[in-house]
Amino acid sequence: QKEVEQNSGPLSVPEGAIASLNCTYSDRGSQSFFWYRQYSGKSPELIMSIYSNGDKEDGRFTAQLNKASQYVSLLIRDSQPSDSATYLCAVKAAGNKLTFGGGTRVLVKP
Amino acid sequence: ETGVTQTPRHLVMGMTNKKSLKCEQHLGHNAMYWYKQSAKKPLELMFVYNFKEQTENNSVPSRFSPECPNSSHLFLHLHTLQPEDSALYLCASSQDDGDRVYGYTFGSGTRLTVV
């Protein structure tokens, strides 16, 4: 079983709609969770961090964490073509390292 | 300069060459990392340095040799690489306060091609 799993996509979303991305992780002791956005040919950019169960909102992004079910999700509201990218879920388990999922490719169509 | 800077941006090297990748962070962080990103594979952690001490080496072949002379600089020395080592090599830094890890800041990466 992979430590951090994401659907590779592509997730095709009409402009203005909500994109919903999911991520599951295997280590129950994980404490810190992150979402990164990576444009093609670029490096990952941190867009959200979440540490407690529940929702965390930042602009058009909402991260949701459910530690009992071991999943974390990202909602992108009012999706724009500029949101087209690969979104990486990252989880901190033991030590000070982050483990990344394979990423979900999102395509926002005008 | 701000953030995390990596040089060179692109590198083509033969299998018998020796080269080095350089990373410098201007964020005052105390931890630095090397990751490898290959096509259609998740980011793979290679090395972790915390307070200049190497704290993790994820079974990386010895043809990759890291060096961390201080908390702001990180190098990855390369020698006798194989074509399958061609990938994007990413440096990152973070502030590690023990219990909580803050998000990493990544450099722009070095696109390495081994011929």
Taking CA atoms, A36 is separated from A61, A65, A88, A103, B94, in Å, by 12, 15, 5, 9, 14
Q: How far is B84 from chain A (nearest CA, A)?
A: 19
Q: Are strands A85-92 and B105-106 parallel, antiparallel or unpaired?
A: unpaired
Q: List the 13-72 stretch of B: residues with Cβ below 8 A of A.
A: 31, 33, 40-43, 45, 48, 50, 55-56
- Average pLDDT over chain B reads 90
Interchain CB contacts (distance < 8 Å): A and B: 55
Q: How confident is the model at residue B27, as a pLDDT? A: 94
Give the model confidence (pLDDT) of B59-94 as tens digits. Answer: 899 999 999 999 899 999 999 999 999 999 999 999
Q: How confident is the model at residue A29, as a pLDDT? A: 87
Query: Is the pLDDT assigned to residue B22 strictly greater than 90?
Result: yes
Give the model confidence (pLDDT) of A35-89 as tens digits. Answer: 999 999 899 999 999 999 999 999 999 999 999 999 999 999 999 999 999 999 9
Average pLDDT score over residue span B39-64: 84
**A94, A27 Cβ separation under 8 angstroms:** yes
Q: Using CA atoms, how far apart are residues B40 and A13, in angstroms rounded to an integer?
A: 22
Closest alpha carbon to A107 in A16, A19, A11: A11
